[in-house]
Structure 1
């Protein structure tokens, strides 16, 4: 299975659906240790992303000529997803996820070149993690998105190295992200708004790690089908 435009669009749509289903839980997690707007911000952002995807001819698109054309390639789809999140999502999640998706998109081959395979997508996901770390200056253990993305990427790479295809590697990544999100609960936050709470942040799951788990589960779901 290669990473084509259809797969990229299906992934983004699956993320949007997951955010729609879980936005209240994400907001509840953020209410405990943050600003209480993580779910609502992501919901608004991915609604804007869907508006771009649903108007590839720019008819009625809020982003006009920047909307990706049907044959723009998977990289363009994910890059535009990132740009839309940056422009539409408030708080920290917009810039973090926006930069991540833009980095993933930029790392994928452009139209006219052979599409990325499972290993190529792994390199793109690694570029996404680097973008998150560069922007947020976070490391594993800081109780952030990084604590879910890092084990997801590790599991993905291990699966590919063992000969797995994209569906199996994506499933491994989803399990790794979900485990990483759970593992943020006993951590004390060292970055972001939650860090202001000090020891009171212990015992709460990081909302960014939780939404990262949704992103990787969405990838696993659309490649499994």
Structure 2
């Protein structure tokens, strides 16, 4: 069973990974975006960690809703609302349960990913964060799957954005020039899933 502390530790681990990879995220974003994805997420996840130190949400759902609100409030550009929506919607799906099963977490993440798709009007193959999140959730939903399988699926999905032409977001303005660059949003999404796997291991 996964409790509030599990989700708190996941987000703190995510903050550490975003910190570690911020330079690479910004480098990827400089090719097809505003060159601020790494610094924006760094600021957002630092705010999440600070909020979790100030407050102690009692349930998994409350942890995720708080994190989502912080990301929406502190991250500029599109990634704040998108990541914020992902976590808030997942948190709301978990409700007030003090503990949840991995299966319930997978269902909640599915709801979060659906909300992101609706907000951004994107689908897998459009060269966005969904290209990492969709396969990760699918791996988690598989009854034999693990967080490690989800991490591998997300990483493969992020790498798979390189040959794609962007159809949504700022990168889509580049048309064919977006081909040949790994999507920064998919890359940062894969980091969040990697944090889950790293924590469990």
Does residue 196 of structure 2 align to residue 219 of structure 1? yes
Does residue 77 of structure 2 align to residue 100 of structure 1? no
Across the two proteins, how many residue pairs are aligned to each other? Answer: 201
SS of the residue aligned with 2:2?
A: coil
Shift >3 Å, 4+ stretches = none
Q: Which residue of 1 aligns with 2:185?
A: 208
Q: Which residue of 2 aligns with 1:154?
A: 138
**Mapped contact 2:103–2:140 kept (Cα < 8 A):** no
In structure 1, distance between residues paired with 2:168 and 2:95: 34
**Mapped contact 2:60–2:100 kept (Cα < 8 A):** no
In structure 2, distance between residues paired with 1:153 and 1:200: 29
SS of the residue aligned with 1:186?
A: coil
Q: Which residue of 2 aligns with 1:118?
A: 102
Q: Structure 1 length normalisation: TM-score? A: 0.87
Q: Which digits, 9 at most, give the CA deviation of each residue in 1:75-99, with x for residues without a partner?
A: 1111000000000000010000000
Deviation at 1:74, TM superposition (A): 1.2
In structure 2, distance between residues paired with 1:17 and 1:54: 15
Does residue 134 of structure 2 align to residue 130 of structure 1? no
**Mapped contact 2:64–2:88 kept (Cα < 8 A):** yes
Deviation at 1:196, TM superposition (A): 0.5
Does residue 176 of structure 2 align to residue 177 of structure 1? no
Deviation at 1:50, TM superposition (A): 1.1
SS of the residue aligned with 1:110?
A: coil
SS of the residue aligned with 1:196?
A: helix
Deviation at 1:111, TM superposition (A): 4.2
In structure 2, distance between residues paired with 1:77 and 1:15: 14
Deviation at 1:109, TM superposition (A): 3.8
Does residue 11 of structure 2 align to residue 12 of structure 1? yes
Mark the runs of 5 or more structure 2 residues left unpaired by the alignment: none
**Mapped contact 1:109–1:116 kept (Cα < 8 A):** no
Mark the runs of 5 or more structure 1 residues left unpaired by the alignment: 57-68
In structure 1, distance between residues paired with 2:104 and 2:62: 16
